[in-house]
Chains A and B, each alone.
Chain A
Amino acid sequence: GAVVSQHPSRVICKSGTSVKIECRSLDFQATTMFWYRQFPKKSLMLMATSNEGSKATYEQGVEKDKFLINHASLTLSTLTVTSAHPEDSSFYICSARVQKAINYGYTFGSGTRLTVV
């Protein structure tokens, strides 16, 4: 139980275009979704926290106009990288806090490898 499905797993886009990453909670309601970014051989860095039906909270240094987060329902949160540039190439991972589960905690998506060329 408590599975988060993240798509796409890999995406290559041209510089200047936008890319949307989706995370769906399959068997629970994700009231809170966290979005992380991970550079090669580095740790996960929190980008933003989204709560269903409200505006996302962005960490310091993360451009909210560039990384648009929408959490319109309890089962879907999206991250859109707008006007992507090569420096946005990274591994993006979503995570949901599981409110009611036997093994409560956090469940992670499988990640999206974004390459901007």
Chain B
Amino acid sequence: QQQVKQSPQSLIVQKGGISIINCAYENTAFDYFPWYQQFPGKGPALLIAIRPDVSEKKEGRFTISFNKSAKQFSLHIMDSQPGDSATYFCAASSYGGSQGNLIFGKGTKLSVKP
């Protein structure tokens, strides 16, 4: 019930295309859903995050779509660029809970071809 399932494991997209990564969760107590970008040898960096009271959030080229009833959320990267090539992790937490730690998906390695 604590798992966050992420797909696909890897993704190749042409420059200018749309990258879509999906995640699903089981724990209905989760109330914070961030996406992180990680480059090799670096710590994760927050891209965008959403709370369950909204169905979509957009920041620049990055959009989170959230489906509370299906317990799914996805990251859309519009106009993908080679510099977006990185590993992306979805995560979830019960932010206000006693533990409050993030549960991470297994990651998606994105390669954007020029």
Contact = CB atoms under 8 A, between A and B. Distances in A.
Q: Does B bind A?
A: yes
A93 B43 CA distance: 7
Nearest to B44: A108
Given A105-B32, A105-B34, A113 B41 contact: yes
Q: Is the interface of A mostly helix, strand, loop or mixed?
A: strand
A43 B99 contact: no
A111 B43 contact: yes
Contacts of A46: 101-103
Nearest to A10: B41
Interface residues of B, number: 23
A25 interface: no
Contacts of B107: 42-43
A57 B102 CA distance: 15
Contact of A32 (B100, B103, B106): B100
Interface string A1-19: 0000010000000000000
Interface of A: 6, 32, 34, 41-46, 49, 57, 91, 93, 95, 97, 103-111, 113
